Structure 1
Amino acid sequence: MHRITVIGGGFAGLTAAISAAEAGAEVTVHEAHHTLGGRARTTDGPYRTNDGPHALYHGGPHWTWLSRRDLIGPLAPVPAREAARFRLRHHGRLRRTPPLALLRLLRHGTHRAPVDIDFLTWATARVGAEGARAAAHYAAVALFHHDPGALSAAFVQERLRRAAKLPPEAHYPRGGWATTIDRMAARAWNLGVRVETLSRVDTLPTGTPVVVATSLAAARRLLGDSSLTWPGGRTALLDLAVRTRRGDPFVLSDLDAPGWLERFTAQDPTLAPAGEQLIQGQIPIAPHESRADGVARAERLLDLAFEGWRERVTWRREAVAHGRTGAVDLPGTSWRDRPAVDRGDGVFLAGDEVAAPGVLSEVSFTSALTAVSLALGRDGTVRRPRPRGDRLDLKRT
């Protein structure tokens, strides 16, 4: 039995640990915090909020993998009456339907966008500047970037189509993301994975392949590799619990600027006490903007659509998600240009900012499977560094 070390006990780390253990490896997971989950944690207590924006897309590769292992668990479906309460802000007013230009960009016959120009330029040539801006702002729900129109047209188009599909691809585990993480942790435990929490790793272990399943910033510090950088988003988060009022929208998407409000208890009432609703605002902010700037914009959206929300607040939390929303690709780049999974000397990266395809958590999943496949060897060999920094020695297992 060969050994693999996984650093990081989030979604990518647990995916790597499970897949390696299923292949017969002896796996140890080191997690710096006292609980597993990474950014997929869900708060305890009466208000169960995720640590920032999350979605599990039905059309992604990880859906089948998780489903086959019964790791997703019960989902929180959106009742039809709530789905009808989808609202958009356009030209400062509430709308029930998107502008025609946005719908034209979503048609299946639309040509595949190029990689080498920005989305706003490409979309403007097809539907005009106003429609292009509305589409870019709508896509922010899957980008978390303050200027989606400046990103690669191919990158934004893929996420726009996935986010706007009907019926929706995005699904949410009932009880929050922690329920899925708990199932993954139990699966790892049953496979014999050794999990060490409160175990911060400052030096790479030797004699074993290592999967570094952390943020890119943490991996950069651990590996001492300044090349491990890639652009990402920065998002102001506003979590609110308010007393229930009939008529509150389910979702409010801002087409005038990047921003999104969602009432998560519309689909999962267990996230808040009876008689209360849990809302999360996700407002991308520019490098020069503060958390207060983003929160103020979220409050203006609330003023527009959630009548009397200030008098109904029972709980509130604010935060900034910095470097936690995955990679974004600038014009001329794609996922293949991000930091490679294979770092040499038996070290492999996994996470949502590395060179792997997919949308949101799909990148973490795909990179984790790629890292384990490379660590174990596609031809049945295990890549054992001897010692770290020297040539890899391939031995048949």
Structure 2
Amino acid sequence: MQRITVVGGGFAGLVAAITCAEAGARVQLLEAHRTLGGRARATAPPYVAHDGPHVLYRDGPWWRWLADRALIGASSGVPLSGLTGFRFRHGDRLRRTPPAELLPVLARRRRVAPVDADFHTWIRDRHGEVAAVAASNLMGVATFDADPGRLSAAFVWPRLLRVFAPRSPARYLTGGWNGLLARLTAHARTLGVAVETGARVTDLPEPPVIVATTLDAAGRLLGTALPSVASGRTVLLDLAVRDDRRDAFVVSDLDAAGWVERYTLPDPTLAPPGESLIQAQLPLRTAEGRADGLARLEALVDLALPGWRERTTWRRHGVANGRSGALDLPGQTWRDRPAIDRGDGVYLAGDMVAAPGLLSEVSFHSAVAAARLATGG
């Protein structure tokens, strides 16, 4: 049997290991941390918080791959009360509806956006400045960038449609990513994958090898500097608060690209009964520090959750810098990111390499491609 080593036990590493094992290879998966998961790791119960969104989109191959292997588990959509709890911050006020100028943008889903133009300019030339600012900041939730309008129109546009005008709505996995990671790990072991945690790799294993780590870590293993890739820089605030009927389900910040979401509305298992688990995020401006960004984010939470400070039972905050997936600037596509095939039996996988998709889907696509190359499939 062909022997393949996978370095890194996040989504990309697990999918790569499973795909290689399904092709008949003998696979060893090495993870430096004591637990698998990478950026999908979540806090332990009773408050299950993640480093960003933890939903799956049913219209993509990542969902179908999991469904074919019975790995999705229980999931839920947005309840009706969630739809009525959607709010928009616009003009520093909380509103139930977005600016009217934004609606025609979402209605034109069939058009194709150009690679060379930035998203803000492309929308402004068709719908005006108000629509361009609102549409750009609407995408803070998927880009974690303080100025999503500066990114390639061809990068932002399909993501906007999938998040806000989906053909198949997103699903929340019950229990968050923890359950999915457990199912992926169990499936990998069933296929014979040898999983080793606490295994820090300092020298590149004998090829064929799939490196499913950060680009910095991959570069150190490969002994070369990989091309830099733009990514988001955002402050995150996780809160557990005692329930209040006035709390919004989602607040989309059309002024500053922020986002607040009450994840316990579709999935009450993420916090104890009578409490809500909230994640808020606000992309940091150029040279803006954590303290200033957090102060702006808390002002957004003030609008979303009246009196939240007195109701808080748990909290944490931090900055995610370059840990939110690749961003394509004008003139670039996913094909311009570091290539999966590095030659001599070495392959890359992860959310910053040359593969398409939205958020975790990039890890999935790159992992499957790397595995097929490694196994000759």
- Give the TM bin, normalised by the shorter chain: over 0.9
User: CA 1:287 to 1:28, structure 2 compared with 1: closer, same or farther past 3 Å?
Assistant: farther
1:93 aligns with 2:93: yes
Residue 224 of structure 1 corresponds to which residue in structure 2? 223
Alpha-carbon separation, structure 2, partners of 1:282 and 1:70: 32
Of residues 12-21 and 54-63 in structure 1, the stretch that sits farther from structure 2 once superposed is: 54-63
Residue 336 of structure 2 corresponds to which residue in structure 1? 337
Give 1:209 deviation, angstroms.
0.5
Of residues 217-226 and 314-323 in structure 1, the stretch that sits farther from structure 2 once superposed is: 217-226
Q: What amino acid maps onto 1:82 in structure 2?
A: G
Residue 265 of structure 1 aligns to a residue whose secondary structure is: coil
Count of residue pairs the alignment pairs up? 377
1:81 aligns with 2:85: no
Residue 237 of structure 2 corresponds to which residue in structure 1? 238
Give 1:76 deviation, angstroms.
3.1
Give 1:166 deviation, angstroms.
4.8
Give 1:287 deviation, angstroms.
4.1
User: CA 1:305 to 1:51, structure 2 compared with 1: closer, same or farther past 3 Å?
Assistant: closer
Residue 133 of structure 2 corresponds to which residue in structure 1? 133
Alpha-carbon separation, structure 1, partners of 2:286 and 2:196: 36
**Contact map agreement 1:53 1:282 (CA 8 A) in 2:** no
1:359 aligns with 2:358: yes
Taking structure 2 as the reference length, what is the TM-score of the superposition? 0.97
Give 1:224 deviation, angstroms.
2.1
Of residues 9-18 and 166-175 in structure 1, the stretch that sits farther from structure 2 once superposed is: 166-175
Alpha-carbon separation, structure 1, partners of 2:49 and 2:279: 8
Q: What amino acid maps onto 2:371 in structure 1?
A: V
Q: What amino acid maps onto 2:13 in structure 1?
A: G
**Contact map agreement 2:109 2:161 (CA 8 A) in 1:** no
Give 1:294 deviation, angstroms.
2.2
Residue 48 of structure 2 corresponds to which residue in structure 1? 48
Structure 1 gaps, min length 5: 379-397
1:254 aligns with 2:253: yes
Alpha-carbon separation, structure 2, partners of 1:40 and 1:375: 25
Alpha-carbon separation, structure 2, partners of 1:37 and 1:198: 13
Deviations 1:96-149, CA, capped at 9 Å, x for gaps: 122222221112455311000111111110111111010000011111111101
Alignment of 1:167-316 (within 5 A): 169-206=169-206, 208-316=207-315
Taking structure 1 as the reference length, what is the TM-score of the superposition? 0.92
Deviations 1:349-373, CA, capped at 9 Å, x for gaps: 0001100111111110000000011
Residue 111 of structure 1 corresponds to which residue in structure 2? 111
Residue 374 of structure 1 corresponds to which residue in structure 2? 373
Alpha-carbon separation, structure 2, partners of 1:169 and 1:368: 24
**Contact map agreement 1:146 1:285 (CA 8 A) in 2:** yes
Residue 42 of structure 2 aligns to a residue whose secondary structure is: coil
**Contact map agreement 2:29 2:196 (CA 8 A) in 1:** yes
Residue 388 of structure 1 corresponds to which residue in structure 2? none
Q: What amino acid maps onto 1:183 in structure 2?
A: R
Deviations 1:310-351, CA, capped at 9 Å, x for gaps: 111111100111111000000000001110000011110000
**Contact map agreement 2:8 2:29 (CA 8 A) in 1:** yes
User: CA 1:247 to 1:369, structure 2 compared with 1: closer, same or farther past 3 Å?
Assistant: same
Residue 69 of structure 2 corresponds to which residue in structure 1? 69
**Contact map agreement 1:217 1:228 (CA 8 A) in 2:** no
Of residues 79-88 and 285-294 in structure 1, the stretch that sits farther from structure 2 once superposed is: 285-294
1:5 aligns with 2:5: yes
Alpha-carbon separation, structure 1, partners of 2:107 and 2:167: 15
Residue 139 of structure 2 aligns to a residue whose secondary structure is: helix
Q: What amino acid maps onto 2:92 in structure 1?
A: G
Of residues 333-342 and 288-297 in structure 1, the stretch that sits farther from structure 2 once superposed is: 288-297
Alpha-carbon separation, structure 1, partners of 2:292 and 2:208: 44
| Identical aligned residues as a percent | 59
**Contact map agreement 1:219 1:228 (CA 8 A) in 2:** no
Structure 2 gaps, min length 5: none
Alpha-carbon separation, structure 1, partners of 2:165 and 2:302: 28
Q: What amino acid maps onto 1:355 in structure 2?
A: A
Residue 29 of structure 2 aligns to a residue whose secondary structure is: strand
Alpha-carbon separation, structure 2, partners of 1:218 and 1:169: 35
Residue 322 of structure 1 corresponds to which residue in structure 2? 321
Give 1:3 deviation, angstroms.
0.8
Of residues 223-232 and 305-314 in structure 1, the stretch that sits farther from structure 2 once superposed is: 223-232
User: CA 1:169 to 1:2, structure 2 compared with 1: closer, same or farther past 3 Å?
Assistant: same
1:122 aligns with 2:125: no
Deviations 1:33-79, CA, capped at 9 Å, x for gaps: 00001011121131111133333111111100001111111013322
Residue 189 of structure 1 aligns to a residue whose secondary structure is: helix
**Contact map agreement 2:215 2:226 (CA 8 A) in 1:** no
Alpha-carbon separation, structure 1, partners of 2:25 and 2:169: 34
Give 1:168 deviation, angstroms.
6.1
Residue 33 of structure 2 aligns to a residue whose secondary structure is: coil
Q: What amino acid maps onto 1:259 in structure 2?
A: G
Deviations 1:189-219, CA, capped at 9 Å, x for gaps: 000000010001110112x300000111211
Q: What amino acid maps onto 1:375 in structure 2?
A: A
Give 1:26 deviation, angstroms.
0.2
